[in-house]
Structure 1
């Protein structure tokens, strides 16, 4: 079954996300992920090196134990990394900082006291990071709980201050110092000093002892931290990491008298690592910039005053005001004003959209030129912008098969190369006459430099992450790297009709009566029958009737899936629906052929007439089918609950290969399974839909695609890909982005392994030195990361 169905069933499991601050080694990240996955009670653990986020699905009763063991694993592999728990529920959790906290015993007292506050579900204090996380049952209690927590903290430690962490406000952060933070500035200064001493030792006419001293001082400045870290890791049993490999290679070079090369290799390695960190930081910021859609505040109207509040504080039914240039913070309906809105952050559309009174607007839209008054229809947690942010942030938790393979490959690659290096150092001098131990030992040291797999471990996930980010920029939300990679093998695309290939905007175009009743009377009976339905067809009938239905007159209401409705009004039974419903109720009706949906109406089993509701085909539906066939999709199919004659006419107009009509939701699933059995072993089947009745089919398909702009929440939740613009042509765009991303990922794999393999062969035959080996390590990593960044700029 699909991943999303598995998540629903995991009711006895919980998900935790940890931020690993200071994590800068991709190889170590892979080790941490592997170790955590081995823990008892862990269903799945995924570490995203780009965002430094470790996501763990675990048994509910083992949370504390697993988190403690995870922390120990991280500290054992990377002692300097700080582990922090990330709040998964933005509405019932709040993170705080305890400034000046220095007593662990006091921290334990504070934690107990805060847990005793009424309304607190759970409170934890991380003494190392000085972080307090408070989870409450009701978010409206936050203000009171925080005030009581402040009092408890002061009573135990008067000098400690409790600071509530604000939501991220991108664009107002102090992270824009031309790409170089204070830590990197100090690192550059250290490398510069080491480089000057190294150049002095190499170029100046100095005595042997002074040169040796300069080389040693330069080496300690540049690589002392790495050697120290390697020694600490060895004590903890962590041997095969890049610190150990570089230390062994350079100390070995010192041992055989290659002083300049030892310092130079460490220096260039550190420079390469610096560039690698900067490249990863740049990519992280670029991807974050794509998702710079979170609103910072909302202008809440309170009586005659405007109050600036957090979007989380706004409730359904509240009135907010959005000024020109501001982001619309939450989904709602415009009740006053007319303006143009920029929807590009959500949909990728560059052309502004005009909105007016009664228009639906989504959080993340930018108001361009006039004041808007909006009635809030969803809480922030349920708003479109919050769901998009959550989808993108969690997309990396579903790894592509290529990512999983590289992670496994990296675990074996380094030990194999190290063992080969050991053999290279020892065996040839013993079996080859006249072979020099120093010469072969030098080759072995160069082997060690090449053995770090960081180029692959960093760049491959970054490529998929970039592809997902680039797709979101084009209004295509892909929920994981596994779905992005699966889009490369699509053979069959199956479409729902209404709201997918057609606009889903129905309008009554014809009313035909068969008895001595007026058209208005027939429309009234149909309106009674559809009074409680939210189907687009029902909405169009009620809209055409233009009067409020007195629902008190309806004594009984029954909606029959895929057929219509049956109601009792003042003792009389009215049925309205398709031919299946008429046949089921034994009503003699007229067969009607037309390009539209026919709703037959009968009262007390007497046929009264029919209403024709027409639905327009989307402008780009025909183009979508052409584009899909142009990129190699073998079969395009339409499944619809509509009449066969209507379905066939739409299919003929659009150029679809097959059409299956008059299907109930469960029959759509069966038909999809039949089509799925016809695909090749590697081929994938896509289903594209938008309605709540499409959710089962979306979940069953290899890849479910939902039309998100007008689509239902249920369809979006069940889907693996969401098209925010409701344009079918975006499906071909998603496949194109997937193919380009895969191309970039495989470029990196071939380039990295090719260069490393070539250098290893050249070193073994004495045709290469440690200089080339350093390039094969950090140089290749930097180039691969920069290449992976191109995935962000892929156009659909």
Structure 2
């Protein structure tokens, strides 16, 4: 096994194309002292297992002048270089090309001055291309740069200097487009990385001290002034403020935070003076985890990308064979012109360059995942991005997902004692429980200003799945579900059955208070439905998802009432966690692709069994980030339709890109049959495909959450 200290992760500067990233990975694997290497092109990172030094690793990327920096170190921003300086060789090459064509039309193609101008254009604009291509050719490593090098040199040999020079310029433009598109796709991750401040103000012995976030320890006290970003995850010790959490959740409306409320690095303090106790180190903050997970997601190959990678492996050698056959067979078998058919063969090499095909999928995946992250949706891989677009059914947990997750007492019906005493007796018995229903009852007692300390709880017993029993001030009381009283054949429970049923039909959970002989009262509790649930279900139906199910452990009448209010097709009640798991398995057998939406903790088995597990409330919830395939960071279902639309659009664009890049090349190659394929057509077919694939993929950046204000 490889020791943990032998695993090093570096950020990479200088990547220009996906094939270059693959070449860098292969070069690293061939180094002495490197056991394995994995390049993440989308995130510009590389993971190396072994003992090779950073300098040795950079030598493996010398072909593209790659620079490495350890992952946990800040990479200094590259100085802003004016466009004309950055691409000076391309500009000079283009000027020589123009001069060459002017000379061509005035003096002819045989003129030495014309040839010299075209040759200068080829050398100035293509020397990097030739250096890599010839070295690859010597190694029998046939990538797109090898194909282009052979084609351009071949064009010069047969006297097509002008077309060869034009190919160089257009290929340089094509590479610039690919580099630009990947930079745009990575921009969302860079913006996340720049969200958190690099320094913070600590309170040390009552004095303010400015320190680097790397020096901050758990337990330190930060001072956050109005208009400042919060530098670390923590808990408020003093103060109240409206906090904009858009960087984490994508939610633009500020959230009011006060004593003991959690706050996250990268969020913005709108108006209050806060003292915050730090709860996580800088590498463990929520924003750091999101960045890490998004970067890892970009490295995951989606099914369509895996297909392209496998196809490209055989595609390039196939193009070489086809080009050789085109150049050789017509002259040998049919005594046709060698010059004409060598030219056709060279054109096949150019049109066969897999630039557009290679970037067709990764650029779409990276762009979509980055866009989702900016909108508060964490998608943990290309496979899940594709999967959520293919779902045919979706199952929701009820509590905390379709409902708010904090039940409230809505009804108090007292029969043989005062309402306040009924609430008090119930609250005293529930005081040792953290169950949401117990919390709701205790909260009601507090709101009514009932002093629970005046009641003496002498004994207590919890009856699993039924309720509580105890002695208060010498009297025995029991509090629990109507079913418990019914199964014990309580003499008076039937007298109140119509009221119990009426409350349940309203979507309320009923708690009965009494003893063995009498019923003292009923308390109706309801978990409020999220204001967005009904709208989200409607939008999902409009997206064609007709199999929408709610899974809950609540009673059937309450579940049906909530399901009807929201507009659900099916409701499954009285379910234990294992029942939810089995239900998901049954749906998968019928509908194969099913998503499960839950809180990431209680629903972990069902989330794991579904095609795509979607967790609510990723912000600050480590379990949600770890267990789910997709996390809705804002704890709001309104991001779900946006995620499905984004996924479907990404799937459509990926299919369009693959079909278009292959179709255009096949169409161009068919021009070989009548001998019509020229280097002009070839390069415009290749560059046109790359340009259209790039622009098509960048459309994913424009997809917005329609629910955003």
Q: 1: CA distance between counterparts of 2:260 and 2:552? A: 30
Q: 1: CA distance between counterparts of 2:35 and 2:326? A: 41
Deviations 1:423-479 (A, max 9, x none): 1111111122x4101111000001111222121222321111111122223222211
Please, which moves more after superposition, 621-630 or 781-790?
781-790
Q: Does 1:454 align with 2:355?
A: yes
Aligned to 1:705: 614
Deviations 1:249-273 (A, max 9, x none): 1111122122222222223222332
Please, which moves more after superposition, 285-294 or 450-459?
285-294
Q: 2: CA distance between counterparts of 1:308 and 1:702? A: 48
After TM superposition, list the pairs within 5 Å mapping 1:524-563 onto structure 2. Answer: 524-530=427-433, 533=434, 535-546=435-446
Quick check: 2:614–2:628 contact (8 Å CA) kept in 1?
A: yes
Query: Cα distance, 1:543 vs. partner?
Result: 3.2
Aligned to 2:681: 772
Q: 2: CA distance between counterparts of 1:365 and 1:708? A: 16
Aligned to 2:168: 266
Unaligned runs of 5+ in 2: none
| SS state at 2:400 partner | coil
Quick check: 2:144–2:354 contact (8 Å CA) kept in 1?
A: no
Deviations 1:134-189 (A, max 9, x none): xxxxxxxxxxxxxxxxxxxxxxxxxxxxxxx4x469xxx455557x496x244445
Query: How many aligned residue pairs are there?
Result: 686
Aligned to 1:26: 18
Assess, with a 3 A threshold, how the Cα gap between structure 1 residues 483 and 780 changes in structure 2: closer, same or farther: same
Q: 1: CA distance between counterparts of 2:487 and 2:600? A: 25
Aligned to 1:746: 655
Quick check: 1:694–1:715 contact (8 Å CA) kept in 2?
A: no
Q: 2: CA distance between counterparts of 1:388 and 1:181? A: 37
Aligned to 1:345: 247
Q: 2: CA distance between counterparts of 1:715 and 1:279? A: 32
Aligned to 2:425: 522
Aligned to 2:373: 472
**Equivalent position to 1:623, from 535, 550, 562:** 535
Assess, with a 3 A threshold, how the Cα gap between structure 1 residues 577 and 265 changes in structure 2: closer, same or farther: same
Name the TM-score, length of structure 1 as normaliser: 0.76
RMSD: 4.2
Quick check: 2:534–2:567 contact (8 Å CA) kept in 1?
A: yes
Assess, with a 3 A threshold, how the Cα gap between structure 1 residues 776 and 397 changes in structure 2: closer, same or farther: same
Q: 1: CA distance between counterparts of 2:116 and 2:470? A: 96
Aligned to 1:148: none
Q: 1: CA distance between counterparts of 2:594 and 2:30? A: 33
Deviations 1:502-528 (A, max 9, x none): 111222334556777932541343333
Q: 1: CA distance between counterparts of 2:601 and 2:517? A: 30
Q: 2: CA distance between counterparts of 1:21 and 1:760? A: 36
Q: Does 1:781 align with 2:693?
A: no
Deviations 1:626-674 (A, max 9, x none): 1111111121111111122211110111111111112222221122222
Deviations 1:51-76 (A, max 9, x none): 332457xxxxxx427x799988x967
Aligned to 1:90: none
Aligned to 2:142: 240
After TM superposition, list the pairs within 5 Å mapping 1:321-470 onto structure 2. Answer: 321-356=223-258, 359-432=261-334, 434-470=335-371
Q: 2: CA distance between counterparts of 1:567 and 1:428? A: 99
**Equivalent position to 1:52, from 40, 44, 62:** 44
Aligned to 2:394: 493
Quick check: 1:537–1:613 contact (8 Å CA) kept in 2?
A: yes
Quick check: 1:527–1:549 contact (8 Å CA) kept in 2?
A: no
Quick check: 1:684–1:702 contact (8 Å CA) kept in 2?
A: yes
| SS state at 1:364 partner | coil
Quick check: 2:243–2:254 contact (8 Å CA) kept in 1?
A: yes
Query: Cα distance, 1:403 vs. partner?
Result: 1.1
Aligned to 2:180: 278
Q: 2: CA distance between counterparts of 1:391 and 1:588? A: 58
Assess, with a 3 A threshold, how the Cα gap between structure 1 residues 477 and 416 changes in structure 2: closer, same or farther: same
Assess, with a 3 A threshold, how the Cα gap between structure 1 residues 553 and 76 changes in structure 2: closer, same or farther: same
After TM superposition, list the pairs within 5 Å mapping 1:16-165 onto structure 2. Answer: 17-30=9-22, 47-54=39-46, 63-64=49-50, 79-80=63-64, 82=66, 84=68, 86-87=70-71, 165=73
Higher RCO by CA contacts (8 Å cutoff, separation 6 or greater): 2
Q: Does 1:686 align with 2:595?
A: yes
Q: Does 1:648 align with 2:557?
A: no
Q: 1: CA distance between counterparts of 2:681 and 2:525? A: 72
**Equivalent position to 1:632, from 544, 550, 560:** 544
Name the TM-score, length of structure 2 as normaliser: 0.84
| SS state at 1:387 partner | helix
